[in-house]
Amino acid sequence: MWPAAPPHRACRNLETARVNPIHRVPSCFVLRFSSSGFAVYSDGTDCSFVFVRAFEAHKAPFTEVGREFGISKQTVSDFIKNKVKILEVAAKSSGAGKKNVSHGVYPQLEEALLVWLMDSMCDELPSADVAFDDLRAAGVSIPDGITFEGFADADKDLELCAKLTDDDIVRQVTEDSDDSDTENEEPDPTQPTSSELTRALMTLSSVYSGNMTLNEIEADMIGGKRNAVQKKISDFFVPKCCLMR
């Protein structure tokens, strides 16, 4: 199928058409005239449609477009005069006016134009060495013997991580870390102040006699806890009979 926009629409605008010249059609295609008066390529395919679409895309003087295509002024004039007829023939042959779009009748030309477009775009990109030379021209200090590939691969053999021995691994695993998980650890007990100790002794003295030692007081407290009777679950609920009263 013919592309929605011909390769020549890659040019930006009319204002930039003269700054960025139109890429030439590959020189392998030699122009000649058919019996109908239209210019065709050496393999018999029509080139007038390509020229007309390029001319409409750039809106540049037809003499300039013809010069870029390598077409004579008379041929350009014939294309412009028969522009409507050329576009009608191209639309019918490419199936643009049909419900079921069919393939173009010039597959070799379409494939060649696609290859030419890709090559022309790649030709506009500077190579790595050219870009490296531009850096030198801009004042960047780069030795003459270094290429862009050599600069990019300068540190490819550099080892960024040293190999660990078994002792290093054991030491890293067993050593204490400040970032260890301390969420479940209980806080260290704090020492009571003198006032807190005084209040505690006064409380013990009010409950126990002054002749009892701390060990005896501790034993009595433990024994009391052992003799305590565990409450039943029913003790926490009020009987229904009490609620009815």
pLDDT of residue 51 exceeding 80, the answer is no
Asked whether residue 42 is domain-assigned, the answer is yes
Q: Are residues 207 and 111 in the same domain?
A: no
pLDDT band at 154 (very low <50, low <70, confident <90, very high): confident
Tell me if 14 is assigned to some domain.
yes
Give domain status of residue 154, yes or no.
no
Confidence bin at 179 (pLDDT 50/70/90): low
Higher pLDDT, 63 or 107: 63
pLDDT tens digits, 127-137: 666 666 777 78
| This prediction's pTM | 0.23
Tell me which of 87, 105, 123 is where a domain ends: 123
My answer on whether 11 and 94 are in the same domain is: yes
Residue 5 confidence (pLDDT): 40
Residue 18: predicted pLDDT: 34
Choice between 189 and 228, residue whose per-residue pLDDT is larger: 189
For residues 118 and 203, state if they share a domain: no
Number of domains into which the chain is organized: 2
| Domain range for 208 | 197-226
Q: Does 136 fall in a domain? A: no
User: Does 221 fall in a domain?
Assistant: yes
Average pLDDT estimate for 54-76: 67
- Residue 185 lies inside a defined structural domain of this protein: no
Is 118 in the same domain as 205?
no
Domain edge (last residue) among 91, 123, 155: 123
Specify if 67 maps to a domain.
yes
Q: Is 131:148 a contact under the CB 8 Å cutoff?
A: yes
Q: What pLDDT, on a 0 to 100 scale, did the predictor assign at position 6?
A: 42
Least confident of 34-43, 89-98, 187-196, 222-231: 34-43
Q: Return the sign of the alpha-carbon dihedral for residues 32, 30, 24, 118.
A: positive
Q: Pick from 123, 139, 162: which residue ends a domain? A: 123
- Whole-number pLDDT of residue 155: 74
**pLDDT value for 204:** 78
What is the model's pLDDT at position 244? 53
Residue 146 lies in a domain: no
Do 21 and 108 sit in the same domain of this protein? yes
The string over 164-194, giving b where at least 16 C-beta atoms fall within 10 Å of a residue's C-beta and e elsewhere, is eeeeeeeeeeeeeeeeeeeeeeeeeeeeeee
Q: Are residues 201 and 93 in the same domain?
A: no
Reported confidence tier of residue 168, pLDDT bands at 50, 70, 90: confident
Instruction: Note the pLDDT tens digit of each residue in 13-23.
Output: 333 333 333 33
- Percent of the residues in the chain that have a pLDDT greater than 70, as a whole number: 41
